[in-house]
Amino acid sequence: MAVWTSEQSAAVVTEAPRLLQPDPAATIEVAPTSRTVCHFRLLVWTAATAVGLLAYRFESPWVWRIAGTAYLYFALSSWLTRRKERSRTQRAIDMGVELIGSTLVIALGGGFAGPFGVLLPVAVASAYCDLGPRAAFTAAAGAVALGLGTLAVNSSLRGTVLYVGTSAVVLGSGWLLRNRREESPEPDTLMAPRTADELEARLDSLGEEHRQLRSRFRETTSAARDQRARIDEMAVGRDLMAASVEAADSEAGFVRLLALLMERFDASAAAIWLLDAKGAGLEVAGMHGNVAPQLRDHRIAFDREKQPSEIRVAAERALAARCSSVATVSLAVIVNSAANVDVKDADGPATVGFALRGSSGIFGAVAIGGPRRGRFASSDPAKAVAVSANAALAVQNVLAKARLSHELREAALLQELMELAQSAPSLERLTARVAELIARVSGAENVSLYLAQEPDGMLAQRATVGRSINLLDHLSFPKGTGICGMAVKERKPIFFGDVLHEPMLMGAELVPPQVRTFLCAPMLARGRAVGAVNVSHASAHAFSQEVVRLVTVLASQAALALERGAEREALEHLAITDGLTGLYNHRYYARRLDNEAKRSARYGSHLVLILLDLDRFKAINDSYGHGAGNGVLADVAALIRRSVREPDIVARVGGDELAVIMPQTSISDAMLAAERLRVQVEREPFQTPDGAAVHLTLSLGVAEFHGAGDASAQLQERADAALYAAKEAGRNCVRVAGDPVRAV
């Protein structure tokens, strides 16, 4: 005798109700036999309808109509019950409809002498297949009884013989089918008669099956749990990737990623560290939640030789000290590999984390702390490691998108800078626009632009933008002196996140109180320092590293733009300037005279033209040579330029003939100015290169613009006439157009 165990007894209790009760799944699906009978009936009545249409369409139309009606009934009945087993009552109704339809079709189709007599045996066969032996005998008896009525309608010798033969076949087949026993296996239940040995063997088999079922259940449960974990991990990865794509910039992207991780672990604080450009340490790139701002200043030393546990402890202390929700930190940042997760607290850690790994190795780490339920679950560290790969990809996406955004922004700013260089009317205006552009890009409160002066290289302020004016901006100093001079000399930017905590600032008392963040970027053009840009802000750490880099790039590009602007301005100056005297040349003089005449005619303002001619200048060239004459002419031109007002235009219009255009000047004021020039030239001794003193006099013709209806050419003619009159009057005098006898 086998020994019964508790598991075997439980198996009996568990399996007995199942073995004693019918299988509920048997009525869910349609039985194959019933489905076959339905298809067979449809096929038979389709054939009967086709035969009726072909043979009795006009002779006896009710034959094919009844056959078609029976076909439609069976088709509709089969369709309405296609998803469930037909009940026995429905199948009995189908059998009756089939017998009645067969009898009517036989009666209308010529009786048993017609082609439809075969329908009665078919009805008996379908009844047997659908309802069993008893239904087959019942169908046979009903077919014979209904056949009597058919015989009475169509009485003929041939029909009688066929009826008798058909009835014999139908009744005989029905009787045989009724007496046939269905061979089916006995139900495998405990209630069946069995011997003790058979019962023990059966119970042992049930116990083994039960153990196998329990094992399979555990395996299925474990697989389902793993599948749910993978699905959860994929969902978190999908959310992280979506957040990395939707983020507008890197800072917003990191905050979004940390928020998703905090939601995933039900935490209140998180931070992300990224490897700096030199690879010497991890810097806080983003933080979110209940974290003190001082965490951003905390830097974790990092090198390939350092143990992961040392980095973990450093990050653990940093997060614990700046997150009030973390009471005790057991596990923080793991920066070695996904396998080095150390769970020391059996109740679960207070902080979880993972490394950020890329193709080139570790590039950062994430720490999550402050679980809202007090401590993390013991399985959370493993979950954190599982999500690390997706988080690393998301962080790389944020960084790549930020780099692309920075490159596009830099390209747009450089394009804007080039457009400024092309559209600025003067070098002074260009420097002002460059300073405004840098202030807008950096968000600085004050921007000062310095350019190196030739030939001593002194740095002089050329443009200032900001809400406060620094007096130091208006001082010139040589290269190498001060912060700006050092940046220009070393050709490297100098940046102070907080000037109050910079020991190298020996002259910190000279820094204005409004300045806490300071940046000096040298302006480099073709490897040569041409100036510098000072950028400052009243708040500490106001400029990110990206802003520092962008301002440095813009400063160098601005140097090229300013250098080109200076070259263009020099070329334009050469194009309108007389090379000997430095005065405007005749082309520029003619254009300005025409413009001033049009402006005077439009606004009704005064305009006076003075033409000057050096008396007997040819004698100087003959006596001292043309070189001496050119020197004297240049000295006279410089004297006249110094003696007139800033708005007045002085030009050389001929060999020794000069002109002065005086806008907004009355004729009386112009006559006084002309007389002053004549006296100054007469009294000024000019020297030749060999030291000889030369005295000159001037003849001057003054003409006034007459307003609308006048023209610059007419003004020129009147001034020429006045000059000719001055020469005719003996030279060294002033004459006014229209009055040859009038003199000052």
Q: Kindly report, residue by residue over 696-738, the tens digit of the pLDDT.
A: 888 999 999 987 777 888 899 999 999 999 999 888 999 998 7
Which has the closest alpha carbon to 94: 132, 130, 140, 43?
130
Q: Which has the minimum average pLDDT: 18-32, 74-88, 416-430?
A: 18-32
Task: Tell me which range, 119-133, 322-336, 690-704, is most confidently predicted by mean pLDDT.
Answer: 690-704
For residue 343, pLDDT beyond 50: no
For residue 513, pLDDT beyond 80: no
The reported pLDDT for the residue numbered 438 is 83
721: Cβ–Cβ under 8 A, 6 or more apart, which residues? 701, 703, 737
Average pLDDT over residues 143-171: 68
CA dist 744 and 740 (Å) reads 12
Average pLDDT over residues 284-295: 79
Q: Which has the minimum average pLDDT: 59-68, 247-256, 322-331, 690-699?
A: 322-331
292: Cβ–Cβ under 8 A, 6 or more apart, which residues? 322, 323
3-state secondary structure at position 584? strand
For residue 68, pLDDT beyond 50: yes
Average pLDDT over residues 42-62: 81
CA dist 79 and 73 (Å) reads 10
Residue ranges matching CATH 3.30.450.40 in the chain: 247-404, 424-562
For residue 191, pLDDT beyond 60: no
Which structure tokens are listed for 616? 């007997």
Neighbours of 268 (CB within 10 A): 19
Q: In the structure, what pLDDT confidence band is assigned to residue 251 with cuts at 50, 70 and 90?
A: confident
List pLDDT tens digits, range 596-653.
Answer: 998 988 888 899 999 999 888 888 887 888 888 888 888 888 888 888 888 899 998 8
The CATH superfamily label for domain 424-562 reads GAF domain (3.30.450.40)
Q: Which has the minimum average pLDDT: 337-341, 452-456, 607-611?
A: 337-341
Q: Taking the chain, what is the end-to-end CA distance rounded to the nearest angstrom?
A: 154
For residue 488, pLDDT beyond 50: yes
**626-643 and 667-683 helices cross at what angle (nearest 10)?**
140
Average pLDDT over residues 358-364: 76
Which has the closest alpha carbon to 445: 515, 532, 540, 533?
515
Length of the chain: 744
Q: In the structure, what pLDDT confidence band is assigned to residue 431 with cuts at 50, 70 and 90?
A: confident
Task: Tell me which range, 457-461, 536-540, 632-636, 660-664, is most confidently predicted by mean pLDDT.
Answer: 660-664
Which has the closest alpha carbon to 212: 15, 4, 2, 20?
15
511: Cβ–Cβ under 8 A, 6 or more apart, which residues? 499, 505, 518
The reported pLDDT for the residue numbered 271 is 84
For residue 58, pLDDT beyond 60: yes
Counting other chains too, the contacts that 485-488 makes at CB distance below 8 Å and 24 or more residues apart are 485/459, 487/520, 487/521, 487/522, 487/532, 488/450, 488/452, 488/459, 488/522, 488/529, 488/531, 488/532
Q: Which has the minimum average pLDDT: 289-298, 528-537, 540-549?
A: 289-298
For residue 205, pLDDT beyond 50: yes
375: Cβ–Cβ under 8 A, 6 or more apart, which residues? 345, 347, 348, 349, 350
For residue 495, pLDDT beyond 90: no
The reported pLDDT for the residue numbered 672 is 92
Neighbours of 488 (CB within 10 A): 26
Evaluate the CA torsion angle 399, 405, 408, 414 in order and state its sign. Answer: negative
Domain 247-404: assigned CATH number: 3.30.450.40
Q: Mean pLDDT score of the chain, rounded to an integer?
A: 75
Task: Tell me which range, 370-374, 391-395, 471-475, is most confidently predicted by mean pLDDT.
Answer: 391-395
The reported pLDDT for the residue numbered 480 is 54
The reported pLDDT for the residue numbered 546 is 79
* Degrees to nearest 5, angle at CA 673 with 671 and 678: 95
Neighbours of 584 (CB within 10 A): 22
CA 253 to the chain's CA centroid? 10
Q: In the structure, what pLDDT confidence band is assigned to residue 467 with cuts at 50, 70 and 90?
A: low
The reported pLDDT for the residue numbered 228 is 81
CA 68 to the chain's CA centroid? 68
3-state secondary structure at position 410? helix
For residue 345, pLDDT beyond 50: no
1: Cβ–Cβ under 8 A, 6 or more apart, which residues? 200
Q: Which has the minimum average pLDDT: 137-146, 167-176, 183-192, 732-741?
A: 183-192
List pLDDT tens digits, range 557-597.
Answer: 877 777 776 677 677 777 778 878 888 888 888 998 999 99
3-state secondary structure at position 267? strand
The reported pLDDT for the residue numbered 703 is 93
List pLDDT tens digits, range 221-245.
Answer: 888 888 887 787 788 778 888 877 7
CA dist 332 and 415 (Å) reads 46
Q: What's the CATH class of domain 577-743? A: alpha beta
Which has the closest alpha carbon to 167: 117, 114, 132?
117
The reported pLDDT for the residue numbered 330 is 35
Average pLDDT over residues 499-504: 70
For residue 410, pLDDT beyond 60: yes
Q: Which has the minimum average pLDDT: 41-55, 481-495, 729-743?
A: 729-743
Residues 31, 32, 33, 36: what is their CA dihedral angle, to the nearest 10 degrees? 130
CA dist 719 and 728 (Å) reads 14
Average pLDDT over residues 200-211: 86
490: Cβ–Cβ under 8 A, 6 or more apart, which residues? 522
